[in-house]
Structure 1
Amino acid sequence: MKNTLVAIATAATLSLVVAGCGSDSGSGSSGSGSSGGGTIAENMVFGGPPEFKTRADGIPGLEENYGVKFGKYTVTDVGGPVTVNALKRGQVDAVDLFTTDPAIEANDFVILEDPKSNFAAQNIVPIINKDKASDGVTEVLDQISEELSTDTLGDLIGQVANDKEKPEDVAKAWLADEDLDATGDSASGESLTVGSANFTENVILAEIYAQALEAQGADVTTKLNIGSREKYYPALEQGSLDLFPEYTGTILTFIDKEATATSPEDVAKALTEALPENLVALDYSEAQDSDAVVVTAETAEKFDLETIADLAKSAG
């Protein structure tokens, strides 16, 4: 299998990326949790991927549902090391991370509760080119979705982030543990290009899909660490990518900015209707990895933050 996994950038590079990507989102900010009047959020710098700034459940959703407007938005990465390091170093005050990210527990970060369900259900789902969704390919991917759990995701990510194992090795071991690595010919004759975004969990999921399909006779090429959704979704839509591990709520709001579904069932139904004719969402897994607004323990204690709504309180 051709693997184009890109090495993680050095810490020095991460700092340069964050330092060069800030953009004002409204009122001015002195950053680092400073208190200069207005709301708590208006004195904060928020860090996240490019799409979170405009996504319906991103910055616009936080403002609409909670009245939260950050003073500055800094582009980091999709729940990866740039985001984590920026928060640790105080370059940003709040970030968009995934709930299964082991960095949250490792750094004593705090997830702010989302009582208004700004973030919709985020079940793991394979998005595949309809022409590639043969019975054999579908069977392999449905079996994977059935066995995945949220706890499993956290454990797999931890093996890479904390134990320094390679995503492809973690994927191979999980498939073996779940008896999903048996060789066969159910996908024989199929040729697929499997992609992933540039964060650990998505790479692992792509490896799981790719290796399981290869074991069943498919000819698989991987294009990993592509980047944000703005980069990889057009390739998926246009057919240069055939299969991608996605998150039901996020991909739905990316495609349909007016989507309002929040439950797993409603989100899955809406996604099926929103996808272009050449793409199909297969069975989704009970495993979820939702976006979350995350701050350091120090920031949470300083401003008495428990929910996203608390960010709209007066900073005075």
Structure 2
Amino acid sequence: MRARTRIALGAAGALAAAGILAGCGDAGSSGTEAPAAGATGAGCAPVAGDQLVVLEDDQALQNTDNIVPAVNAEAAQPEVIAALDKVSAALDTEQLIDLNRAVDVDRKTPAVAAEEFAASTGLTDGIAAGPGGELVVGAANFSESQILGELYRIVLTAAGYQVTVQQIGNRELYEPALESGEIQVVPEYAATLADFLNNKVSGENAPAISSSDLDETMTGLRRVGEQVGLTFGTPSAAQNQNAFAVTSEFAEEYGVRTLSDLAEKCSGAATILGGPPECPQRPKCQQGLVEVYDFRAGEFSSLDAGGPQTKTALTTGAISVGLVFSSDGELAAG
């Protein structure tokens, strides 16, 4: 997985296999002592439960990985952008969770889930017809990207284009294809892509241009995108970013709804944080929880990146809090 701004995975660990989304940043090394060392206080012991809920990131630790359509500049006709923006306007994170649940839990195909969503929301209502022609929508090899690709297909077809959805591996594979015009449209993640393109344009050690402010992130993304022949539609309210989950039973027992609550009530010896092995040294994972929230777990459990190990450890009461992706289909419905 190419390290950028995120580390966690979506449902069933699909994003890790794709190698597409971000890491938690570049700080630290595997030999760094976990910042939880020296935690004081009683903490909050794990509480088993069947349902996972995300704690609100109320001090904006994570960057703005809002879903945004990325378009080859030569294909960016006004009708194309307007159609793609219909998807952005229709989606929020709760709806994205529902779509992921339909595929990853209920085992519908991405095309069926997308068609049902389009029908229930009137997604194609009022779409203006463009000049037509063939368009290829690229999708990464994990279900969320494929669902979004199918939604893009639906609206672009309604605008009069002949559209196919092509699955093209990870970002290192599909981004050059988007630049060259081999594919014309890809669903993307604002903060992750901004830093990916910035490193491509300015070098691997270039400072990050993503932030917790969406306008700042999009300004940086549009600037570097212009340099490589890409343009962007309107970002969606839907985000897929690092998040920290607990069981609903844990949230009720300890009265926590936000990461600030977690830091205030649960810093201490009994609290077990779970995540991938690199989490203790990453600024969007345990290191960030210490620096931004002053949250200090008593113990760190090395698991996977938001996949089945972490989610099972939460539901069975092996860990108190774990790193997940905010649009995971196994999270509680809104």
> What's the TM-score, normalizing by structure 2?
0.58
- 2:213 is the alignment partner of 1:271: no
- 2:7 is the alignment partner of 1:58: no
Instruction: Give distance in 1, aligned partners of 2:143 and 2:216.
Output: 28
Letter of the structure 2 residue corresponding to residue 150 of structure 1: T
Q: Secondary structure at the match of 1:305?
A: strand
Instruction: Give distance in 1, aligned partners of 2:270 and 2:247.
Output: 10
Deviations 1:294-315 (Å, cap 9, x if unpaired)?
Answer: 7999xx9975338724688677
Letter of the structure 2 residue corresponding to residue 252 of structure 1: A
Q: What displacement does 1:124 show?
A: 0.9
- 2:97 is the alignment partner of 1:154: yes
- 2:173 is the alignment partner of 1:222: no
Q: What displacement does 1:157 show?
A: 0.8
Letter of the structure 1 residue corresponding to residue 182 of structure 2: S
Letter of the structure 1 residue corresponding to residue 114 of structure 2: A
Q: Give the superposed CA RMSD.
A: 3.9
**Structure 1 residues 172, 51: CA separation in 2 closer, same or farther (over 3 Å shift)?**
closer
Select 1:288's aligned residue among 215, 239, 246: 239
Deviations 1:202-240 (Å, cap 9, x if unpaired)?
Answer: 11010000121112210112112x222122112112221
- 2:116 is the alignment partner of 1:142: no
Instruction: Give distance in 2, aligned partners of 1:52 and 1:128.
Output: 18
Matches within 5 A, 1:23-172: 48=16, 58-61=24-27, 117-172=60-115
Deviations 1:24-74 (Å, cap 9, x if unpaired)?
Answer: xxxxxxxxxxxxxxxxxxxxxxx9468689x6x5251576xx9759xxxxx
The number of equivalent residue pairs is: 229
**Structure 1 residues 263, 67: CA separation in 2 closer, same or farther (over 3 Å shift)?**
farther
Contact in 1 for aligned 2:70/2:231 (Cα 8 Å): yes
Higher relative contact order (CA closer than 8 Å, sequence separation 6+): 2
- 2:208 is the alignment partner of 1:259: yes
Q: Between the two proteins, what is the percent identity of the paired residues?
A: 30
Instruction: Give distance in 1, aligned partners of 2:217 and 2:299.
Output: 34
Q: What displacement does 1:259 show?
A: 1.8
Q: What displacement does 1:106 show?
A: 9.6
Q: Secondary structure at the match of 1:60?
A: coil
Contact in 2 for aligned 1:62/1:68 (Cα 8 Å): no
**Structure 1 residues 189, 267: CA separation in 2 closer, same or farther (over 3 Å shift)?**
same
Contact in 1 for aligned 2:69/2:187 (Cα 8 Å): yes
Contact in 1 for aligned 2:18/2:141 (Cα 8 Å): no
**Structure 1 residues 109, 176: CA separation in 2 closer, same or farther (over 3 Å shift)?**
closer
Letter of the structure 1 residue corresponding to residue 26 of structure 2: P
